[in-house]
Chain A
Amino acid sequence: MTDEAGADAKLVKMIVFAVGDQEYCIPILSVREIRGFEKTTALPFAPHYVCGAINLRGIILTVIDLAVYLNVEPQPDNPRRVVIIVESRNGTVCGLLVDRVIDMADVNLADIQAVAEEDSSLSGLVMIADRMIGVLRLEVVVGQLVGGMTS
């Protein structure tokens, strides 16, 4: 949010949101838009964390309930629940249902502390103003949607 953000290539602007009590962030450049949660159309044989499909101006995309995905108690009555529409690097567009969006933050990539597994949905943890924030790996979260056929 300052001038040096653009100057230093290692700083990445992240959007920070909460799922349950835990906060997570994703690069803001992968976010297309944020919209209110509306009724979804249930999909057959979908993984349990998929809420269903919505219509985004003519494009049909699926919404992932991040709370279910991350094994947190969902908050169906929370009025601040929103859907973050993201586009992953391989072009897949989908929505992430989160409990609330908090703010944006500049994260220095060097500050991210990696977690162990390579293909986990969490790529690391970062400290922003004394809060521990998880950095989501979108490719993993979204990739599971397109991968393979249901049987």
Chain B
Amino acid sequence: MSGDMDDILLVFFQECEEQLQELERGLSALSDGESGKETINAVFRAVHSVKGGAASFGLENLVRFAHVFESSLDGLRSGRVAPTPEIVKTFLKAMDVLSDLVAEAQGGATVDTARIDESRAELQAIIGEGSGTAGQKEEETVPADFTPVPVDFEPVMADFDFGDFGFEEETPAEAASLVVTFSPHTAMYDRGDDARNLLIGLADVAVAHGGASTVTCETAALPALDALETEKSYLSWRVVLPAAVPEESVHTVFDWVSDVCDVTITRDGGPGPSGGEQPAEEQAAPAEPEQPAPVAEAPAPAPVAASPAPAPSTVAEKIMAEMPPAPTPAATAPIAAGNAAATRRPVEQATIRVDLHRVDDLMDLVGELVIAQAALESIGQREDDAQQEMIKRIASMKALTRDIQDAVMAVRAQPVRSVFQRMQRVVREACSMTSKDVVLTLEGEDTEVDRTLVEKLSDPLTHMLRNAVDHGIESAEARIAAGKSPTGQILLSAGHRSGRILITIKDDGGGINRERVLATAVKRGIIAPDAVLTDDEINNLIFAPGFSTAATVSDLSGRGVGMDVVKQAILGLGGRVTISSVEGQGTTFCLSLPLTLAVLDGMLIVAAGSTMVVPVSSVVETMMVNHKDIYMLPDGANVVSIRGACMPLIPLASELGLGGGGTASLSEEDVILVVENESGARAALIVEDIRDQAQVVIKSIEKNYRQMAGVSAATILGDGSVSLILDVPALVANALGRIDTRPSDVRTGLAA
């Protein structure tokens, strides 16, 4: 049982994750000024679902907070509150608390109660209630009053003391007070819900409207103790709420249990309970949950009944019509979630959502592949000379295979949105810690990259954005002094560029103070005091391990581990980081990453007798060696002049330490490959031959072997042999480091 529970809990947390994302999306839309009904409903629904699920698992803290949150959002939904930027900000803050509470329930760090209380007070202030102590006090007394309820009413308890069941608060109901009677079905308890949560919900509603609720428990249906079936639901409750409480907010309390609970809501004409008859006639229902629930005709006018599913359809329609439209979707979402929790198996993170058409495309391609294979087979069986035909078929098969590969890649592709949206929170938190005002703008969230990459982007981006807020953006005073708007701007954008994904983080802060960076680097012993560095090299110093210019180590950054880790993480993904910074205008970080970690378009070349792969994306052109264009530098290295542009010449074989003696072995047959790194720096590789162009599958060798300079990975060729994939940017950087012929603006990746 506990195992099942854990499984279900896992599903719940997965759903929370989704709901929180939904919430984030909705709130971002709101803060962008889009206050459509759908958006608000979506936000409301998300919080509501979290609350509903949390209640089923008795996650008290979460339920309480979600409920307050929900109430405030209800104000937004009903139009009582306008989504001003301040209010949206409060909601965003509340969302962070909510997601922390979810994390806490998941076994994470305990959330600071002061933070919860603060956010709760803010939320309550929005809907103009609970200002100050009164609301806070109610909030605290109500649960205390209700705590005994589940214990006493727990149907499995044998030592029932019937006399204690009447549980009444002293406050009498006022005129036209709202009377809610409800009797849970056995099924509700089976599902893990608890009447206690409903009572708490009702009490909260009452408190929210400035009154208190009167709860009476109806025990008439309880059989004698010896006839008591411990698993059955016998009890029902009658709750009198203050007149100010709107019916819809009562519906909200019940809408996620409405299928397993009989509820009637009536406007009572006078104070006090309307006698024992009405609850008594409801007692029939809980004992026989299969029966259609009675839609109680209460003495009051205009009864509105939220009856469970088995009610006659006409009644149901009537209810739908009477209910405001908004709660309907709200009601369906948590129920669906509940069902899903019961039936779906937890699948960890191993699932992805894929557009159907992508799977269809894949299917079509596989069909064609089967046909192509049949055609090949028939050629093989023919007696005559079919070689020409064979070659043609193989060529078409090759094209097909490539298409299939693309299709599979498309299935694995995921938009970077999920990671990008998480960054909003990172920036928000960083802002509140540093008391800065920064707006994060997202661009190109729909850019798709391989799933594995999406997940691995999160940590480096978090670091970089924190740094941007903490170090990049200046304080408001400094900004005003510099003639900028006090609100800082950070742009996080993603896009495709020539087979790679390019992520830029651009802030409009003070830029990198190169003098200070240089001074710090010298102080920390990262570089020699007399070193002469270009601007770009100085910028790159911030990636050096142990580097930090922050005068004080803040909570956010300044310990000098961040950027070093970022660089390592990006390199680990086969990517590069480049910085450009204009003092006084801001800093831009560019992350260039491969679209996938699996496949690469490569040019097969020969060096030192073995076949190697150069990524096609980094090859600019190929040409034969012309000895006239090669000049030797005093230190023994060579540069080659190609149409007037000089670039370092890299004899690949000797560069990789695989024999060959520099230019001495340069023969007429050798080929020059002009290669380029991300920032446009070029170098010429001398190789013995160019064999072919092919797609190769990237295989890591680092698992079983150490990292090799100049080699990024390996692959397996068609003949089964191993071939190395060259790390062109590393080779270029290495060569440029030795031969200082390039203008400084194209030099990259040297310092770190």
Q: Which of B608, B658, B706, B724 contacts A150 (CB 8 A)?
A: B706
Contact with B along A91-126 (1 / 0, CB 8 A): 111100000000000000000000000000000000
Let me know if A41 and B707 touch, CB within 8 A: no
B723 proximal to A (CB < 8 A):
yes
Chain A residues, Cβ within 8 Å of B706:
145-150
Which of B480-488, B505-513, B708-716 is the interface stretch? B708-716
Chain B residues, Cβ within 8 Å of A146:
704-706
Chain A residues, Cβ within 8 Å of B609:
42
Closest chain B residue, CB of each to CB of A62: B705
Closest chain B residue, CB of each to CB of A45: B657
Let me know if B707 and A43 touch, CB within 8 A: no
Contact with B along A19-59 (1 / 0, CB 8 A): 00000000000000000000111111110000011110011
Bound together, the chains give a CA A108 to CA B408 distance in angstroms of: 53
B720 proximal to A (CB < 8 A):
yes
Chain A residues, Cβ within 8 Å of B2:
none
Contact with A along B694-708 (1 / 0, CB 8 A): 000001110111111
B220 proximal to A (CB < 8 A):
no
Bound together, the chains give a CA A58 to CA B721 distance in angstroms of: 10
Chain A residues, Cβ within 8 Å of B703:
91-92
B234 to chain A, nearest CB (A): 59
Bound together, the chains give a CA A145 to CA B724 distance in angstroms of: 17
B432 proximal to A (CB < 8 A):
no
Let me know if A41 and B704 touch, CB within 8 A: no
Chain B residues, Cβ within 8 Å of A39:
721
A61 proximal to B (CB < 8 A):
yes
Let me know if B708 and A150 touch, CB within 8 A: yes
B494 to chain A, nearest CB (A): 31
Bound together, the chains give a CA A91 to CA B704 distance in angstroms of: 8
Let me know if B705 and A42 touch, CB within 8 A: no
Bound together, the chains give a CA A53 to CA B720 distance in angstroms of: 12
Let me know if B714 and A149 touch, CB within 8 A: no
A151 proximal to B (CB < 8 A):
yes
Chain B residues, Cβ within 8 Å of A44:
656-658, 708-711, 724
Q: Which of B656, B709, B716 contacts A60 (CB 8 A)?
A: B716
Let me know if B705 and A53 touch, CB within 8 A: yes
Chain A residues, Cβ within 8 Å of B610:
41-42
Closest chain B residue, CB of each to CB of A53: B722
Determine which residue in B699, B707, B722 has the highest number of CB atoms from chain A within 10 A of its CB, and name it: B722
Bound together, the chains give a CA A53 to CA B658 distance in angstroms of: 14
Closest chain A residue, CB of each to CB of B609: A42
Bound together, the chains give a CA A49 to CA B704 distance in angstroms of: 15
B57 to chain A, nearest CB (A): 38
Chain B residues, Cβ within 8 Å of A62:
701, 704-705
Number of A residues near B (Cβ < 8 Å) is 28
Q: Which of A53, A55, A91, A150 contacts B709 (CB 8 A)?
A: A150
Chain B residues, Cβ within 8 Å of A61:
704-705
Contact with A along B114-130 (1 / 0, CB 8 A): 00000000000000000
Let me know if B705 and A145 touch, CB within 8 A: yes
Let me know if A53 and B657 touch, CB within 8 A: no
Bound together, the chains give a CA A61 to CA B720 distance in angstroms of: 13
A51 to chain B, nearest CB (A): 12
Closest chain A residue, CB of each to CB of B705: A62
Given contacts A41-B721, A53-B714, A60-B714, contact A93 B704 (CB under 8 A): yes
Determine which residue in A53, A62, A91, A93 has the highest number of CB atoms from chain B within 10 A of its CB, and name it: A53
Chain B residues, Cβ within 8 Å of A91:
703
Bound together, the chains give a CA A54 to CA B701 distance in angstroms of: 11
Contact with A along B608-649 (1 / 0, CB 8 A): 111000000000000000000000000000000000000000
Chain A residues, Cβ within 8 Å of B724:
41, 43-44, 53
Chain A residues, Cβ within 8 Å of B656:
44-45
Given contacts A58-B699, A145-B704, contact A41 B722 (CB under 8 A): yes
| Residues 76-97 of A at the B interface (beta carbon under 8 Å) | 91-94
Let me know if B701 and A55 touch, CB within 8 A: no
Bound together, the chains give a CA A40 to CA B656 distance in angstroms of: 16
B597 to chain A, nearest CB (A): 15
A78 to chain B, nearest CB (A): 22
Chain B residues, Cβ within 8 Å of A52:
722
Q: Which of A45, A54, A93, A147 contacts B708 (CB 8 A)?
A: A45
Chain B residues, Cβ within 8 Å of A60:
699-701, 704, 714, 716, 722
Chain A residues, Cβ within 8 Å of B709:
44-45, 149-151
| Residues 702-752 of B at the A interface (beta carbon under 8 Å) | 703-711, 714, 716, 720-724
Given contacts A42-B608, A53-B714, contact A149 B707 (CB under 8 A): yes
Let me know if A92 and B722 touch, CB within 8 A: no
Q: Which of A40, A94, A147 contacts B704 (CB 8 A)?
A: A94
Bound together, the chains give a CA A89 to CA B708 distance in angstroms of: 23
A46 to chain B, nearest CB (A): 8
Bound together, the chains give a CA A120 to CA B722 distance in angstroms of: 31
A38 to chain B, nearest CB (A): 9
Chain B residues, Cβ within 8 Å of A43:
705, 708, 711, 724
A147 to chain B, nearest CB (A): 7
Bound together, the chains give a CA A18 to CA B328 distance in angstroms of: 79
Contact with B along A134-151 (1 / 0, CB 8 A): 000000000001111111
Chain A residues, Cβ within 8 Å of B699:
58-60
Would you list 10 pairs from A and B whose C-beta atoms are within 8 A, ordered by A residue? A41-B721, A41-B723, A42-B608, A44-B658, A55-B721, A58-B699, A92-B703, A93-B704, A94-B704, A145-B706
**16 extra interchain contacts, Cβ-Cβ under 8 A, other than A42-B609, A44-B711, A148-B706?**
A42-B608, A43-B711, A44-B708, A44-B709, A52-B722, A53-B724, A54-B722, A55-B720, A55-B722, A60-B699, A60-B700, A60-B716, A92-B703, A93-B704, A147-B706, A151-B709
Binding site for A on B (CB under 8 A): 608-610, 656-658, 699-701, 703-711, 714, 716, 720-724
The 9 closest A-B pairs by CB, nearest first: A44-B656, A41-B722, A53-B722, A55-B716, A61-B704, A62-B705, A149-B707, A60-B714, A60-B699
Binding site for B on A (CB under 8 A): 39-46, 52-55, 58-62, 91-94, 145-151
